[in-house]
Each structure stands twice: as C-alpha cells, then as structure tokens.
A and B are shown apart, each in its own frame.
Chain A
Amino acid sequence: MSKIVEGLLYSDSHEWVKVDGDVAIIGVTDYAQAEMGDITYVDLPEVDDEVSQGEDFGALESVKASSELYSPVSGTVVAVNEALEDAPELVNEDAFANWIIKVQMSDKAELESLMDAAAYAGITG
C-alpha cells in the first residue's frame, strides 16, 4: 500500500500538488515512484517555461520504463528541483518530500478538477 498525504491535491496521472498561495508545488506520488521502480533520470523543464494543465512538462526514467510528467495546473515554472539532476533516487526515497517543479498558477480554478487524498486513494487502492 503506497503512502498518500492528506491535504494535497492529486491528478489521475499520479502527480501531487501542494498549494502555496498562487504557487503550485508539484511532485509525483509514492504510488507513481513504486510503479516506476528505481528512477535513473528526471527530465526537468526550465524556469520561465509555460505549462498547461494535462500537458507534459518533463519525464521520469527508470530501469523499467520512461514516463511523462503531466502538469496538474497551467502557469509558469518559477523553480525546478535541481537536486534531482544528480540524485534522481530522491524521488524513490520520498516522493512527497522531493518536489519536482513549482508553478505560478494562471488559473487557480483548475485546482477544482483535481482529487483530494481520499479520492486519489480510491483510484490507487
């Protein structure tokens, strides 16, 4: 059973969002990292890149597979977690502590289309 954190929002493509004012902090869920296996590379966007809800902004690569990362919100990338460039294993170690990007949201109403922890537990249980 993978870990799910209360108080975060979730997409059906297994990203989590922590809302901090107008900024969305985005990572992948524990379920996603477990499904991927040992992650060997995180393909990150650049600061100032535009992202759109449901569109890919990067990718995770593991020994088993490569999987795209889909942005749960639209907006502008204001920070990327550069630590993941040299230590992609951080995502395996703690998927919730190691965020991937931060996005200045252009439309906070999009958050309403995301799931809460209980709903997300429903699709991964």
Chain B
Amino acid sequence: MKYYDKLIFELSKPGRRAYTLPAAADPSASFSIPSGLLRAEAPALPEVSEVDVVRHYTNLSQMNFGVDTGFYPLGSCTMKYNPKINEEIAGMPAFQGLHPLQDESTVQGALEVYYEMERSLSAITGMKHFTLNPCAGAHGELTGLMVMRSYHASRGDTARIKVIVPDSAHGTNPASAAVCGLSIVEVKSNANGLVDVEDLKPLLGPDIAGIMMTNPNTLGLFERDIKEIAELVHGCGGLLYYDGANMNPLLGVVRPGDMGFDIMHLNLHKTFSTPHGGGGPGSGPVGVAGRLAEFLPTPKVEKGEDGRFHIVDDAPMSAGRVSAFMGNFGVILRAYAYILMLGKQNLAMAGKLATLGANYIKESLKDAYKLPIPSVCKHEFVFDGLIDDGSATGKPGATTLDVAKRLLDFGYHAPTIYFPLLFHQALMIEPTETESKETLDAFIDVMHVIAKEAAEDPDILHGAPHNAPISRPDETMAARKPVLKYWDGIS
C-alpha cells in the first residue's frame, strides 16, 4: 500500500486553479447581498490544479479498505458484497436526474418502484404496510417508536412510557427510545445468551409501551422463546418492536410478522446489499401490522384505480413526517434491484449460506478462541478473546483489541470488537453469504496464526499493526484534546 498522508490544504499554491472564468460583465454587481453578510476576506480554500485533486483523492481512496478490496467480517454490520448491477440501475440517467419536487405525472416509474418495494418488503417480513422514508436503521427505530407512541396515545393509554430492551441489544435501541421520550428498562440474558423470560415477567405492566428485540440477537442466537415473549408482552398491552439489523439469516425462512412482532425496521444497506460504512447513506424502512398502518409517517405512495401512482400526504393519525421527502431513493432502488435479481428462492439461500459460513468459522476456531455459548449460531457469533493469550510467557496477555489490530497486517478488516457488552473480550464475526469457502479458510488460517503468535510472543500483537500506514492512534488523546481544524486561523 502506498503511504500517503497529505491534506488537500498542504498541496495549495496561491493562484493555482483548474478553471478559467470569463471576466465579469459588471465587476461592481452586488447581487443585492447585504453588506453585513459579505466576506471581508476570501475563504481559505485550497488552490490546486485538476491533476492535484485527482491524484490526491485517488491516493486516499487506495488507502481505503472496502468489501471490494477484501474480506470484511464486521459483526452486526452485514458487509455483504454489493452487486454492480445495483449501481448500474441506480446510475441510469432517468433515475439519477429525478428531483423530489417533480410533478408526479413525470415520475410514475419511480413511484412504481416505491410502491412495489413496499409490497416486496411486506411479503419478505410478514408486516402489512411499510414506509420507506426513514434514512437509516436508527432513524427507523425512532420512526417505529413514534408509531408505537402514537398507537398508545390514540387509545388514551398515556401511562405507557417504558420500553424494555435486552442487555444484548444494539446501543441504538435505548438511544432511540430515549430520543422518543421513553424510559428504558433492561431485561437480562440467560446462560444461553437468550432473553430470560423469568426476568421479563415482573417487568411487564400497564406502564410498558413495548419491547425492542433483535432476532437473531447480537450474539447471533435465535430467540427461541419469541412466541411466549410475544404473548406476554401483548398480554400486558405492549407492542413488539423488531430491530432488523440481523434479518439477513432469516430471509425467506422466517418472518418477524409471523413471530408476533408489530413494528420493525429493515436495514436495506445491510440485508439488501447496498453500500454502507463511513456513515451512509442508508435506508431504514419501517413495517407495521395492519392495525398500526394509520400511524405510519407521510408522505406515502398509493396506487389509484386507474393504475397511476400518487403521493399521498393526508393521514390524520400519522406520527408525522420523518424525512424531507421519501427517504434515500437511490438506496431503495439498489435494494429493489437486489430483491428482483435474486427472487424468492435465491433470497432464501442467502441467509442459509450466511449461517453456514458463520458456523464453519466458529467451529474451526473454537480450539483457539473462547466460545462462551457453544450452540449453533445464525449469521454471526461472538468469541470472548483468546484461549491462550500468552500471559504465561510473563508478558501482558494479548487482548481482543490486539487480535483485531494484528488482522490488519494480514489484509483483513477487523471484526466487531467489545460488543456486545455481555463479554469483556467480545470478538464478533459475521462472514456473510457472498464469501467462498476458500476465503473463509484463508481467514481461519490467519486467525490460527495470530492465536499461535499470541501464545508464543504476545508482543507481536501488542505492536500491531506493523504493516499499516498508521499503527495505533492515541484514541484517548484524540478524544480528550481533539484538533478539529487545520489552521489555527479557522474559527
């Protein structure tokens, strides 16, 4: 990998540029901007030639790691390969040039995609209606909880202010509940890593708005007691929310709607192969059972009797608007292409292959890494650090962080580490269905090499990565004393 660490500002030379503009017809024209809003000095923007810009960003991009460059077993993130046909379709000028304020008579095709996508997701999940408006997973959670609140409020059931969240949940679950004005009650996991039904029972009552669950949960384990949990939560008047982050292994096999869930979100950018990482853009559609449909956000797309599609904003019981228009259409389009490409049968293969791959890695590595819960997993699983961390050598033992850093030397993206919080040395691996047996075997070999290094000389791991452009940034100092600007002169 070529080492490159320049900022675009460092390339700047006064007067260097990549364009020429004709002289202004009237240099004194003020464009009616009030003088108080005019800059006294030109902004300190970098001044560079076109080739400088191209080389700068090309060099930076080559230091990037993505699913297009290597295996990316980042647990809970479902970094599956993004088929290029998705990009080709999303890049079609007829889609790319759309504006959300165009008259609906000129965007019938796009509205049809929207309408059909909703129906596809309903068929896949067993939820009656969907909104595609939320722009990411946590945005979907918030939207779903707003629907939950609106439902209870519509019944005058205003005492329901608590949401139950398992201790294995994604951190976004309690965060979304708090943003929605609800308070959080934690339910514990049992020794098998599943929600403890006995711990749940005493929490249920007239103040419970609902429970948020991820199934399979963040340990990659299927919540077997889900039917009983659904009965208990419904019995106390609460609703069940399904966090769709881990939907991948269930595609075409089991539907959240059939498990008893009332509200759910999907992460199109995970489960349906659209690019993600680096903060977006994502898409977090929310599906609901029939009795909750009237609370979904607006606008939505409806199909008239004449076969034409209409954008409808009239929904008096709606929880409100959650995005400026109708979500990240480009992401929705890619995911729709993926669903149509695979079809029902092949979608059902995706989750099974992801599950097979995860179990294959788990069984192949459990001789070197602690496996806290030895049951069959779904698409991902969690180790709790090394079996032999090398501390017998008298040196400090190698931690999960050290293993993750060492993996970078071998050209792999690190798995998710220190999550879920149930285990102190959590190392969460999710291979996804798009990886071949050869790729999985190569990764397993490297993980064994690292375990052997740790046992013999943990310092090799402590110093890792040895081959990356940057070794170990001082994260603590970066958080305590962040330097957020290039020039001191920038205010």
Give me the interface of A with B, judged by CB distance under 8 Å: 38, 40-41, 61, 63-64, 88-89
Contact = CB atoms under 8 A, between A and B. Distances in A.
A63 B418 contact: no
B479 A40 contact: yes
Contacts of A63: 475-476, 479
A68 to B, nearest CB: 11
A40 B479 CA distance: 6
B479 A41 contact: yes
B480 A40 contact: yes
B418 A38 contact: no
Contacts of B479: 38, 40-41, 61, 63
A64 B480 contact: no
B482 to A, nearest CB: 9
B480 A88 contact: yes
B476 A64 contact: no
A88 B479 CA distance: 11
Interface in B401-418: 418
A88 B477 CA distance: 11
B351 to A, nearest CB: 32
10 contacts: A38-B476, A38-B479, A40-B479, A40-B480, A41-B479, A41-B480, A61-B479, A63-B475, A63-B479, A89-B480
Mostly, the B contact residues are helix
A11 B167 CA distance: 22
What is the size category of the interface that chain B forms with chain A?
under 10
* 3 A-B pairs with least C-beta separation: A40-B479, A38-B476, A40-B480
Given A40-B476, A41-B479, 10 more contacts: A38-B476, A38-B479, A40-B479, A40-B480, A41-B480, A61-B479, A63-B475, A63-B476, A63-B479, A88-B480
Interface in B457-491: 475-476, 479-480
B429 to A, nearest CB: 20
Interface of B: 418, 475-476, 479-480
B423 to A, nearest CB: 14
A55 to B, nearest CB: 13
Contacts of B476: 38, 40, 63
Contacts of A41: 479-480
A89 B477 CA distance: 10
Contacts of A64: 418
B139 to A, nearest CB: 21
Nearest to A88: B480
A61 B479 CA distance: 9
B431 to A, nearest CB: 26
A110 to B, nearest CB: 23
A38 B475 CA distance: 9
A88 B480 CA distance: 8
A103 to B, nearest CB: 24
A41 B475 CA distance: 13
Nearest to A37: B476
Nearest to A89: B480
B479 to A, nearest CB: 4
Interface centre among A40, A41, A61, A89 (most CB of B within 10 A): A40
B261 to A, nearest CB: 29
Contacts of B418: 64
Interface centre among A41, A63, A64, A89 (most CB of B within 10 A): A63
Interface centre among A38, A61, A64 (most CB of B within 10 A): A38
A97 B418 CA distance: 30
A61 B475 CA distance: 13
A63 B475 CA distance: 7
Contacts of B475: 63
Contacts of A61: 479
Nearest to A66: B171
A53 B40 CA distance: 54
A63 to B, nearest CB: 5
A31 B179 CA distance: 30
A90 B254 CA distance: 52
B184 to A, nearest CB: 12
A88 B476 CA distance: 11
Contacts of A38: 476, 479
Nearest to B480: A40
Nearest to B421: A65
A41 B476 CA distance: 10
A89 B476 CA distance: 10
B293 to A, nearest CB: 37
